[in-house]
Amino acid sequence: MKKITLLLVLFLSLVSCIEISDDLTMHNDGSGTLRYKVNLSASKVKVNSILALDSLDGKKVPSIQDISAKVGEFAKILDAQSGISNVLIEENYTDFILKFSCDFTSIMSLQAGLANAIEAVSKDKLGPEADEIWITWDGNKLKRSIPAFARAKVKAFKSNDLELLRDGSYTSITRFDRPIEKFDNTLGTLSKSKTAVMIKSSAYSIKENQDLLENTIYLISTKN
């Protein structure tokens, strides 16, 4: 996972266009599905040029085979975690698109499962960051933010590379089984069905202000 993280940081700092999206579906019983996508297709020429190098900034550039092996290991470990099932990862190394999805029985199972899987394939332990609660759900209200371990990686980007992130985007979608009453993030857009909210921002803006994706979403109570 360390190699994957290194390559992702290199890509983010050198490519001019990256699209990242997360899509969280929450059911009334607390179970759900998480989908995540990283799309570098608009910068695949630059990505290929990076992969052709032996090293960059004094660090070895992993091969596609190395990356795919670690991705497969991560998927296998995550699928074995309690409360996690149907782990699916789609790898496209022609257009450089990575899609990930999994089902979970509860928000706590999702957070613990991801943290355990990341630590299992990484040489660097997450430490206290692994215990951070970045999503909460009480049946009527969901609060989510960027995990601490992800924020740490974003902060590591060099200041002279930040301009390259302006063309990139991050989209976060949260879906529910019943209508949303209100939400706190002013960047959010409510779907026509009122059962989903989307927040979209540039990768650069998120680097500068990682609170942009934080949101508390209130649903219409089932008692009403």
186-198, pLDDT tens digit by residue? 999 999 999 999 9
Q: What is the mean pLDDT of the chain?
A: 82
Which residue would you say has higher pLDDT here, 94 or 208? 94
pLDDT of residue 55: 78
pLDDT of residue 7: 45
pLDDT of residue 3: 40
Cα 42 to Cα 17: distance, rounded to the nearest angstrom: 6
CB atoms within 10 A of CB 202: 15
pLDDT of residue 148: 62
Alpha helices in the chain (DSSP H): 2-14, 44-51, 64-79, 107-120, 148-155, 203-208
Which residue would you say has higher pLDDT here, 62 or 135? 135
pLDDT bracket for residue 45 (50, 70, 90): confident
Q: In this structure, what are the phi and psi dihedrals at residue 117, rounded to the nearest 5 degrees?
A: -70, -40
pTM of the model: 0.85
Whether residue 147 is predicted with pLDDT greater than 80 in this model: the reply is no
Whether residue 156 is predicted with pLDDT greater than 60 in this model: the reply is no
